[in-house]
């Protein structure tokens, strides 16, 4: 079978977006890495939040081989994935005002911690209020979003603002409104979203920047090893024991 023209076009589109993110967001990625390193060095905790498919990039840096052991998922029931039934409920919950405050108030997050909020559109009440409330509690907020949505759509929050308006640092994924890279004759809807690829890359680049910052300060980054490599479980056990009071995904 000959290679797929559309598959190749998707790779080209994704690579182009990754190159833009690398080049245009380099300074912001470095700033985000520094913020995370500052928090690790100061004894603080790290949290990541995303709703719907944006949660995939948040989960990708939690309890991950090669990842920082201190990154915790700030989970909002019903919006973490498409496993909720019906799946459309997750989208509806993103628009519920007050939910973010209730989750933050019952979480272990406190002043001095870092919260990474991932939302492609950044327009729904949940990520907007999550950022607003987190900053009010004294957390540093890193937003990973598509700035294009703030220019091409209307906010669904009462304030009329977007996630990007309530962050200390913003990482722009460069994804166009609609999150579909391809069109083709005979196919009515645009297709092939690339937001997960780019957003996950931004997250991993930020984690790499944080590790770089830590080692430059003489601090061993608290990284996890693969449990499928000899000695991995023993290594992870030591890391989790040493940093146990800042790791919440094992309780």
**What angle is formed at CA 171 by the lines to CA 63 and CA 204, rounded to 5 degrees?**
30
**Two tokens, residue 114:** 């870092």
Average per-residue pLDDT for the chain: 94
pLDDT at position 88, please? 85
Q: Between helices 195-216 and 5-24, what is the axis angle to 10°?
A: 40
pLDDT tens, residue by residue, 106-155: 999 999 999 999 999 999 999 999 999 999 999 999 999 999 999 999 99
């990842």: which residue's tokens? Answer: 67
**Two tokens, residue 59:** 């989960």
99 band by pLDDT with thresholds 50, 70 and 90: confident
pLDDT tens, residue by residue, 29-46: 999 999 999 999 999 999
């984690």: which residue's tokens? Answer: 207
CB atoms within 10 A of CB 144: 33
77 band by pLDDT with thresholds 50, 70 and 90: confident
In this model, does residue 169 exceed pLDDT 90? yes
How many whole angstroms separate alpha carbon 125 and alpha carbon 133?
Answer: 12
Q: What is the DSSP secondary structure assignment for residue 217, as one 8-state letter?
A: T
Pairing label, strands 46-50, 182-184: unpaired
Lowest mean pLDDT, pick from 85-89, 154-158, 184-188: 85-89
Q: What is the DSSP secondary structure assignment for residue 84, as one 8-state letter?
A: S
Spell out the SS3 assignment of 13-43. Answer: HHHHHHHHHHHHCHHHHHHHHHHHHHHHHCC
172 band by pLDDT with thresholds 50, 70 and 90: very high
CB atoms within 10 A of CB 131: 29
C-alpha gyration radius of the chain:
18
pLDDT tens, residue by residue, 208-241: 999 999 999 999 999 999 999 999 999 999 999 9
185 band by pLDDT with thresholds 50, 70 and 90: very high
In this model, does residue 2 exceed pLDDT 80? no
How many whole angstroms separate alpha carbon 20 and alpha carbon 110?
Answer: 34
CB atoms within 10 A of CB 107: 19
């Amino acid at each position: 079978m000959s290679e797929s023209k559309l598959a190749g076009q998707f790779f080209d589109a994704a690579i182009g977006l990754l190159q833009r993110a690398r080049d245009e967001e380099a300074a912001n990625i470095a700033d985000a890495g520094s913020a995370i390193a500052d928090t690790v060095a100061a004894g603080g905790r790290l949290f990541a939040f995303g709703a719907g498919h944006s949660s995939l990039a948040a989960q990708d840096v939690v309890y991950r081989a090669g990842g920082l052991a201190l990154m915790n998922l700030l989970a909002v029931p019903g919006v973490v994935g498409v496993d909720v039934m019906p799946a459309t409920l997750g989208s509806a919950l993103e628009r519920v005002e007050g939910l973010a405050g209730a989750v933050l108030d019952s979480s272990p997050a406190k002043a001095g911690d870092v919260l990474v909020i991932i939302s492609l559109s950044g327009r729904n009440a949940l990520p907007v209020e999550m950022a607003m409330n987190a900053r009010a509690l004294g957390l540093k907020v890193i937003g990973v979003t598509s700035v294009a949505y703030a220019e091409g759509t209307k906010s669904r929050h009462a304030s009329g603002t977007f996630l990007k308006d309530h962050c200390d640092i913003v990482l722009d994924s460069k994804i166009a409104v609609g999150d579909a890279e391809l069109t083709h004759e005979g196919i009515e809807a645009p297709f092939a979203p690339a937001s997960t690829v780019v957003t996950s890359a931004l997250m991993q680049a930020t984690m790499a920047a944080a590790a770089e910052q830590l080692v430059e300060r003489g601090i061993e980054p608290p990284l996890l090893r693969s449990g499928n490599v000899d000695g991995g479980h023993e290594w992870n056990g030591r890391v989790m024991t040493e940093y146990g009071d800042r790791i919440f995904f094992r309780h």
